[in-house]
């Protein structure tokens, strides 16, 4: 499993349905059926809770970066340091062509300093598929992942198509693909997540595929793994 941290203004927030302006600070983390810990938006405490339940990899969505292009550098660096002994840290900083030279230099330095960091290129933010070439020029190819972003099965990019991204991922030899339907985030159904999993695993066979949204039970997890998922993004199964 891969623990998810959504960041807004330096706070960990609880995402539901992809309605980002309604996200509120994460309140609690359930360590077990009978024990929970207060989080109150503290992303470092949230990391400790994920570590306590043996979740070895994390996915961070910088919602400031995704929505406005202003990365929360200090918070991301703190998370990278806190997770330096863990398996991997996927970071979605909201990459787009509006990123400055200093932004790219910062990402390169982050990846160099922390070998467990992988940078996610999110299709909802990218103006053009050429952003992927910029990412692989700046970063080791095996440290770049691509997120295919939908909401209620609708492709979120207005300037690119899924086919363009599929072809570009193959050409750039991207190893890790993430499939997200934001409407499934925080829900109790994997229907949208499962449908997207089937589509992308067929379109991009042989890739490491990560997905999440609506996972609430071992049955849900097994269905997605049987469909082709290699890793599952989880948050609401533990947090409120």
Task: Quickly state the pLDDT bin for 86 (edges 50, 70, 90).
Answer: confident
Mean pLDDT for 156-165 is 96
- Predicted pLDDT at 229: 97
What CATH number matches the domain at 2-234, 3.20.20.70, 2.30.110.10, 3.30.420.270, 3.40.50.261?
3.20.20.70
Q: Structure pTM?
A: 0.95
Judge whether residue 203 has pLDDT over 90. yes
The tokens for 74 are 């200090």
Provide, for the chain, the percentages of residues in helix, strand and coil under a 3-state DSSP scheme, each rounded to the nearest 5: 40, 25, 35
Mean pLDDT for 152-158 is 95
Q: Could you give the residue ranges of the DSSP H alpha helices within the chain?
A: 43-52, 63-68, 73-82, 101-113, 130-138, 162-171, 191-203, 218-227
Judge whether residue 166 has pLDDT over 90. yes
Chain segment 104-144, per-residue pLDDT in tens: 999 999 999 999 999 999 999 998 999 999 999 999 999 99
In this structure, is the dihedral angle defined by the CA atoms of residues 74, 75, 76 and 81, taken in order, positive or negative? Answer: positive
Most confident of 43-47, 67-71, 234-238: 43-47
Task: Quickly state the pLDDT bin for 220 (edges 50, 70, 90).
Answer: very high
Task: Quickly state the pLDDT bin for 52 (edges 50, 70, 90).
Answer: very high
Chain segment 60-85, per-residue pLDDT in tens: 999 999 998 889 999 999 999 999 98
In the chain, domain spans: 2-234
The SS3 call for residue 186 is coil
Distance of CA 222 to the CA centre of its chain: 20
Please, are residues 12 and 18 in contact by the beta-carbon 8 Å criterion? no
Which residues, 6 or more positions from 29, have their beta carbon under 8 angstroms from its beta carbon? 36, 37, 39, 45, 46, 49, 50, 238, 239
User: Hey, which residues does 176 pair with through a beta bridge?
Assistant: 145, 208
- Predicted pLDDT at 37: 95
* Residue listed under structure tokens 């970063």: 139
| Separation CA 164–CA 129 (nearest Å) | 7
Task: Quickly state the pLDDT bin for 195 (edges 50, 70, 90).
Answer: very high
Out of 45-54, 72-81, 92-101, pick the least confident.
92-101
Judge whether residue 4 has pLDDT over 90. yes
| Separation CA 103–CA 173 (nearest Å) | 24
Which residues, 6 or more positions from 154, have their beta carbon under 8 angstroms from its beta carbon? none
Query: What is the chain's alpha carbon radius of gyration, rounded to the nearest angstrom?
Result: 16
């Amino acid at each position: 499993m891969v623990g998810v941290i959504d960041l807004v203004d330096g706070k960990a927030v609880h995402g539901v349905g992809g309605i980002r302006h309604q996200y509120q600070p994460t309140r609690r983390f359930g360590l077990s059926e009978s024990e929970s810990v207060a989080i109150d938006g503290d992303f470092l405490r949230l990391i400790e809770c994920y570590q306590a339940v043996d979740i070895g990899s994390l996915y961070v969505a910088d919602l400031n970066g995704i929505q406005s292009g202003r990365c929360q550098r200090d918070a991301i660096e703190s998370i990278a340091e806190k997770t330096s002994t863990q398996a991997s840290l996927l970071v979605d900083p909201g990459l787009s062509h509006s990123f400055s030279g200093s932004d790219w230099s910062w990402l390169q330095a982050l990846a160099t300093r922390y070998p467990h960091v992988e940078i996610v290129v999110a299709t909802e933010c990218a103006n053009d598929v050429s952003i992927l070439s910029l990412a692989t020029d700046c970063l080791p190819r095996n440290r770049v992942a691509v997120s295919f972003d939908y909401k209620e099965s609708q492709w979120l990019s207005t300037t690119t198509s899924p086919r363009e991204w599929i072809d570009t991922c193959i050409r750039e030899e991207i190893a890790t693909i993430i499939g997200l339907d934001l409407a499934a985030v925080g829900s109790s159904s994997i229907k949208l997540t499962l449908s997207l999993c089937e589509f992308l695993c067929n379109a991009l066979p042989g890739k490491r595929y990560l997905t999440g949204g609506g996972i609430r039970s071992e049955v849900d997890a097994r269905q997605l793994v049987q469909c082709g998922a290699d890793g599952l993004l989880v948050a609401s199964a533990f947090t409120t």
